[in-house]
Structure 1
């Protein structure tokens, strides 16, 4: 198959996305308008005159060498037949190099392995198991192995560190399938049965306590709770204007793309979360919870409302997004995994993010700059 790559309009890109069953929201034109610190463009793959693939490319310039950029396709591109990925990426590399890119970074949305909730729980309980990859996977996808091999043979460099989190998107996620293996939608009872006893009890507890979950537009209320959560859990929160831009851009592209869920108990906001949907894929994107009234289980109520709405919308999967592969009970990250495992579902490993240096000297300079920057960040400078 002979393919060519060239710019497409945002309208053409959106039209292509709407025809696909599964495209990451990070590969929509709207996401380019959210990431204002990057220059964005939509590219299309053509077989003859037919548009057969599309990708959002985010460009970041090199410090002091602004004419060169890192070209980044998060969780992309959206292409058919990823098993022949070299046929897709060769024309992409030629186009981006001519456009001034010194390297390409991308993360094809292709799975390599999955582990069931039961396996993950057993691994956490076993003191001899420290990492998810030490467990035999429930399913190994030969397509993932093939894509990994093709990328490596073509000179692409893997970017995922040992913990699965790098500068971009995580390699490991936790996902709740909303369809059975035969393709039929699961029922709410099916999903509740698949959850662990604690999750079922917490959902019932929230309902008994009178927690009410609504879909609203009060981003300021969400952000206040999110900042509170950040202070408690010791992470750096994004500013309110980031979420305002996110809702404005994504809602303009599709009015059902993004929604804010607010859980209240006797008028008090106890939890909030953001849900994003594209085609058959739904993502739990951001969440927040109050320190007070944790006993009413607002977070579980929020999650259950988003899961039910995703199921009702005909989605294939509810994605709880990134996890680290650690199963060491003493690791602080394992609590997040345990929370997500409680939904049932499965841990998923993707091929991860890869770099292709197009101008090796500039790439090495950029890599050195990023290493120094991460080192200073770790030392709090």
Structure 2
């Protein structure tokens, strides 16, 4: 196999050919994501077996000042046949040419994130673990489903010189989270989905309705309003907010690729915005990407109403999965991220652990220096 650069249309066509809602799909591997990430250079690369395009990846490059070498990062990618079941291609035949191509482009290290599910826990299992407090972390809870192929893939990656990125203390990887929560939708209607919600979730949806909370889809002109709520949320939940320009760039780039790919929803009571969220869709897979809520009016449960409207739209449009993105793996009720886990588990879906992010240090010294820099940020 050989690797060569892909044009935007060629890359996008490959993404569409794989956009059936499978777990290997990610909007972070669409060409538009490169335009979102200012401060990074981007390039689309394709794996060719003869004339056949069999894999693709969006590579983001982050240069080290004054050195001229870069970190090469493939967020939640690349889109390749990780187990070789569809193509018969061995793992080393995917990764060796990738490392060679990125070495030639001046990369000191390669980071990638296989979109491969290793373990799955039902919402019922997570709730039980949260209630009995026998476990401190989700990763310690016996999983309902384990994919042994993922464990074999981990061993194979290590044998090829790749190293799994160390997680932070709250269970998140350094770039993308390893643990996520998702709601399967295939073959289900509104009644079946809502029946899986916790009693508290259903009660909160009715409470929001009685309080007069309404949810509407708005265009990018609503981004300043969203960002005001997002800034309030950042202070309350103790994270550093992205600037308004980031979201404006996101909508411009993703809408240019597909006008139905990214959406913005706002929940209001009267004229007062109480909550807002963005959703990204590729094929039959949808992601809740950013959420925000006001400090006032939370007793009217606008966030529950907002999520329910987004799920209703996913069902109406035939989505297979609604992905609520990252969760912490902590089961400590005193942890500041525990409420996020409780909120998402109430939807009755499933928690999943992906294989995590992996590094290949082309230049071990520069790789180590970069890891120290990240640890001190």
- TM-score tier, shorter chain, comes to over 0.9
**In structure 2, what is the equivalent of residue 213 of structure 1?**
215
Counterpart selection for 1:142 from 126, 138, 148: 148
Shift of 1:151: 0.8
Shift of 1:146: 2.0
- CA deviations over 1:284-336 (Å, ceiling 9, x no partner): 11111112221221111110111111122222111111111111222222111
2:347 is paired with a residue whose SS is coil
- The 8 Å contact of residues 171 and 330 in structure 2, kept in 1 or not, is answered as no
Shift of 1:110: 0.1
TM-score normalised according to structure 2 size: 0.94
Counterpart selection for 2:185 from 169, 175, 178: 178
Q: Where does the alignment leave 5 or more consecutive residues of structure 2 unmatched?
A: 85-89
Q: Where does the alignment leave 5 or more consecutive residues of structure 1 unmatched?
A: 180-184, 375-381
> Is the aligned partner of 1:129 residue 2:135?
yes
Count residues in correspondence: 365
Once structures 1 and 2 are overlaid, which stretch shifts more, 351-360 or 223-232? 223-232
**C-alpha distance in structure 1 between counterparts of 2:148 and 2:318, whole Å:** 28
Shift of 1:224: 1.1
Cα RMSD after superposing both structures: 1.3
- The 8 Å contact of residues 172 and 178 in structure 2, kept in 1 or not, is answered as yes
Shift of 1:227: 1.1
**In structure 2, what is the equivalent of residue 13 of structure 1?**
11
- CA deviations over 1:133-167 (Å, ceiling 9, x no partner): 22110000122112211111111011031533132
**In structure 2, what is the equivalent of residue 324 of structure 1?**
328
**C-alpha distance in structure 2 between counterparts of 1:104 and 1:351, whole Å:** 16
Counterpart selection for 1:50 from 44, 52, 55: 52
- The 8 Å contact of residues 160 and 171 in structure 1, kept in 2 or not, is answered as no
**In structure 2, what is the equivalent of residue 91 of structure 1?**
97
Runs of 4+ in structure 1 off by over 6 angstroms are: none
> Is the aligned partner of 1:313 residue 2:352?
no
> Is the aligned partner of 1:73 residue 2:74?
yes
TM-score normalised according to structure 1 size: 0.93
**C-alpha distance in structure 1 between counterparts of 2:63 and 2:278, whole Å:** 30
Shift of 1:259: 0.3
Aligned CA distance change for structure 1 residues 244 and 299 (closer, same or farther; 3 Å): same
Counting only pairs closer than 5 Å after superposition, residues 293-308 of structure 1 correspond to structure 2 as 293-308=297-312
Counting only pairs closer than 5 Å after superposition, residues 99-114 of structure 1 correspond to structure 2 as 99-114=105-120
**In structure 2, what is the equivalent of residue 359 of structure 1?**
363
2:245 is paired with a residue whose SS is helix
**C-alpha distance in structure 1 between counterparts of 2:370 and 2:287, whole Å:** 32
Shift of 1:236: 1.5
**C-alpha distance in structure 2 between counterparts of 1:18 and 1:347, whole Å:** 26
1:11 is paired with a residue whose SS is helix
Counterpart selection for 1:164 from 165, 171, 186: 171
- The 8 Å contact of residues 111 and 143 in structure 1, kept in 2 or not, is answered as no
1:292 is paired with a residue whose SS is coil
**C-alpha distance in structure 1 between counterparts of 2:370 and 2:293, whole Å:** 38
Shift of 1:81: 4.4
